Structure 1
Amino acid sequence: MTAAALVFAAGCSSGGGDEPDNGKSPTKPEKSTQSPTGKPGADAPPEKGSAKVTRTLTTDLKSPWGLAALPDGDLLVSSRDEGTITRVDGRTGEKTELGSVPGVSPGGEGGLMGLALSPSYASDHMVYAYFTTESDNRIARMLYDEKKPSGEQLGAPDTVFKGIPKGVIHNGGRIAFGPDKMLYAGTGETGDTGLAQDKESLGGKILRLTPDGEPAPDNPFGDSPVYSYGHRNVQGLAWDEEKRLWASEFGQNTWDELNEIKAGDNYGWPEVEGKGDGDEGFHAPVAVWKTSEASPSGVAHAKGSVWMAALGGKRLWRIPVRGVDGEPKPQDFLTDEHGRLRTVLAAGGDKLWLVTSETDSRGTPEKGDDKILEVEVK
């Protein structure tokens, strides 16, 4: 067996998430957390939260992955395996395919993944996408012209950043514009664990770029796009009202993570999975889960908490991060009710959009899969 094949066989999560099952039976799930930096206060979230699906917006999506909200409340959703972007009416759920993204080469965990709107979308109408090609993972932007006929509304991709390592597994894929209007991208180490600690590699990192794809000014490593490193596979990025960046991360066989991201910090993989011993000089996670309970992909922030979509765990996690004194106490909701959960997006106030992931070759699709659900939280 080749070295790459050995990594594929041995370096995968047992949680049934975005990676092949290695056949190990996880122990009874444990919940272990570490304190975020939030301070106690009068605006602290209630000790117990809730999450309730209020409606199914749309059904019959195929391998949905990325989600972005348009100014009028409609949604754009990417199909990882089909390489298309579809507009979903935010009121009726009606679907309109905008077109395919040229150059997408789906396979394994790769394909058309994260979506984000330009911070100047009102004037430039640019949609950003993270996708896998024959040679790499890259980020491109496309003009979205609503005046053109259906199927022709996406302009040709303008590649703004390329060269992110690709693999059968661990391609990362989430992109988001931060409060600073910079473009952040979560990448994976492709199963080659050494890439995560190599600051010259783009794999196993969170990248920070200008909208034109240049390394953002004041990045921690000079003229480098690397913002943080030591990651295994980052598929969730979200900011809270204090402008703190939160990222979800797939563990291998033991611990999945939620991390608070600080510029220049090392998050430990592959030297540490989960909390470690606390004296290695790595930035420890805020919360960890057994992989059978999580295998986390998207995250969003709403009502003082980070909400995390779990693939293998088939549930929605709430991690309070506002006004918390001591360890946050994660709560899980919707367990085994809607299958694998891929993406969660804040929809304003107490609402979230939640995307299921049963048609991505890892699930057990039923009639109507996959879906976008509207969820009311507190």
Structure 2
Amino acid sequence: MRGKAGAAAVLCAVLVAGCGDDGDNSDATSPMQSAAAPAAPPGSSSASAGAAAKAPDFGASREIATGLNVPWGIGFLPGGDALVAERNTGRIVQVPAQGGAARQVYQVPGVQASGEGGLLGLAVSPNYAQDGYVYAYFTAANDNRIVRFKLGDGTPEVIFSGLAKAGIHNGGRIAFGPDGMLYVGAGDAGQRPKAQDPGSPNGKILRLAADGKPAPGNPTAGSPVYSLGHRNVQGFGWDSAGRMWAVEFGQDTFDEVNLIKPGANYGWPTVEGKGDTQGGKFTNPLVTWATDDASPSGAAIIGDTLYVAALRGERLWTVPLNGEQTGPPKAELTGKYGRLRTAVAAPDGSLWVSTSNRDGRGDPNDGDDRILRF
């Protein structure tokens, strides 16, 4: 067991006090709510099969890959193998579905890894068998951007650019939703007013078509913005009814789990955690955590449970989902593997979790960073 675990006490039946950032909270350093959503596409962060889905066994894990350099985004190919993005190297490696040596299959050009920036989110096209596209979110010389490419083609196509970059709050998670659209967690890049500015893509969850254009049916026609008032969203997924859930870094007090609805405003920077909704203008989170207990990055949904990878908290949070409500969160793996970056549902229904102990804020052990299967 690792030493710095932090308290894991649940403070309330639904709300738990808390927050965090990429391990340091300081600012210094359409219609998808359908009742029967289709299965999540390859590379999605959800494998929602209702209550029938089997819960992961946290007493038994298997190492899928070791010796990785800050694995951030994970997406699955149709055959079950995974593509993994390394934040600091700009490499994409392929990992066998049953585990084994990772091999480089692509080098994303133009990645500028600094602070929390670098090669971040990764998504495999839901039509990969036909179009062969892989999508990546990364920090470039002047901005954060999204590209798509084919593994056999060295030239990526920029499909979305102009997201403000910084050493912190770059967001970066991307995933295709049950509606086939590309969802993007865009941080506020340390520029707080952008989160409330509807004309800025920063501090938002974006919803894009596969070519990067604003998706049809967005709350404002012609705008990529799906929801606003976010500080730094790095994880989200969909439940079996198509509801979108996202986790978010707070600053000094509260990290959050939010039920995302189109056009909703989640309050940052006016509100951190649960607070005054100003007559319904802002939407409160359903779960909050204390700073030391979370810093939530990746998130996945399997069955009726949200799994949240915590960096500073060095644990995996499980959050029961019941319609639009949540049950008491429970901490698993506390301090056992160090900083946890990404949680993703694999095509076989297992849960994959990556560590982030080589990101400059962790305490790496032999074999770090690694991907574990539960």
Which bin holds the TM-score, normalised by the shorter protein?
A: 0.7 to 0.9
| Residues in 2 aligned to 1:197 and 1:179: alpha-carbon distance in whole angstroms | 27
- Residues 16 and 359 (structure 1 numbering): CA distance in 2 closer, same or farther, change over 3 Å? farther
Letter in 2 for 1:113: L
Does the C-alpha gap of structure 1 residues 187 and 139 become closer, same or farther in structure 2, counting only changes over 3 Å?
same
Correspondence list, 1:198-217, <5 A:
198-217=197-216
Counterpart contact for 1:67–1:77, Cα < 8 Å: yes
Q: Secondary structure at the match of 1:52?
A: coil
1:143 partnered with 2:132: no
- Measure the CA separation in 2 of the matches of 1:239 and 1:327: 14
Amino acid at match of 1:298: G
Offset at residue 59 of structure 1 (A) = 0.6
Q: How does 1:80-99 map to 2 (within 5 A)?
A: 80-99=87-106
The alignment status of 1:73 with 2:72, answered yes or no, reads: no
Alignment CA distance shift 1:214-1:20 (3 Å): same
2:156 is matched with 157
Cα RMSD (Å) of the superposition? 2.2
**For residues 136 and 72 of structure 1, what CA distance do their matches in structure 2 show?**
34
Query: For residues 44-71 of structure 1, what are the alpha-carbon distances to aligned partners after superposition, in whole Å with 9 as ceiling and x for unaligned?
Result: 689x986334211111001110001111
Partner amino acid, structure 2, of 1:18:
D
- Larger relative contact order (Cα-Cα within 8 Å, sequence gap ≥ 6): 2
The residue aligned with 1:263 is: 262
8 A contact 1:303–1:350 mirrored in 2: no
Q: Sort the Cα spacing of 1:122 and 1:86 in 2 relative to 1 into closer, same or farther, 3 A.
A: same
Q: Is the 8 A contact 1:118 1:128 kept in 2?
A: yes
| Displacement of 1:280 | 4.5
TM-score (norm 1): 0.84
For 1:260-279, what per-residue CA distance to the aligned partner results, in whole angstroms no more than 9, with x for missing partners?
11000000000100011345
Residue of structure 2 equivalent to 1:284 = 284
1:16 shift after superposition:
6.6
What stretches of structure 1 of length at least 5 have no aligned partner? 1-13, 24-37, 146-153
Summarize the Cα distance change of 1:15–1:265 in structure 2 as closer, same or farther, 3 Å threshold. Answer: closer
Residue of structure 1 equivalent to 2:124: 117
- CA deviation vs aligned residue, 1:230-281 (integer Å, no higher than 9, x gap): 0000000211110011111000000000111100000000010001134552
Q: Distance in 1 between matches of 2:165 and 2:326?
A: 36
Taking every aligned residue pair, what percent have the same amino acid on both sides?
Answer: 51
* Cα separation, 1, equivalents of 2:90 and 2:270: 35
Deviation string 1:162-221 (CA, Å, 9 cap, x unpaired) is: 111111100000000001100000010011111100011111000000000100011101
Aligned to 1:52: 59
Check the 8 A contact 1:16/1:362 in 2, yes or no: no
- Which of the numbers 18, 23, 34 marks the counterpart of 2:22? 18
How far does residue 300 in structure 1 lie from its aligned partner after superposition? 0.3
Alignment of 1:310-329 (within 5 A): 310-322=310-322, 327-329=326-328
- C-alpha separation in 1, matches of 2:147 and 2:321: 33
The superposition leaves residues 133-153 of structure 1 with CA deviations (integer Å, 9 ceiling, x where unpaired) of 0111010001123xxxxxxxx
Indicate the residue corresponding to 2:302 in structure 1: 302
User: How many residues are treated as equivalent by the alignment?
Assistant: 334
Please report the TM-score for the alignment, with normalisation by the length of structure 2.
0.85
Residue aligned with 2:308, SS:
strand
Partner SS state of residue 134, structure 2: strand
Q: Do the aligned residues in 2 keep the contact of 1:170 with 1:190 (CA within 8 Å)?
A: yes
> Counterparts of 2:155 and 2:56 in 1: how far apart (Å)?
44
CA apart distance, 1:72: 1.2
> Closer, same or farther in 2 for the Cα pair 1:66/1:362, shift >3 Å?
same
Q: What code does the residue aligned with 2:261 have?
A: K
Deviation at residue 303 of structure 1 after TM alignment: 2.4
Aligned to 1:240: 239
Measured in 2, the distance between the counterparts of 1:327 and 1:17 equals 23
Amino acid at match of 1:261: I
1:297/1:310 contact within 8 Å kept? yes
SS in 2 for 1:123: helix
Secondary structure in structure 1 of the residue aligned to 2:61: strand
The amino acid that maps onto 2:116 is E
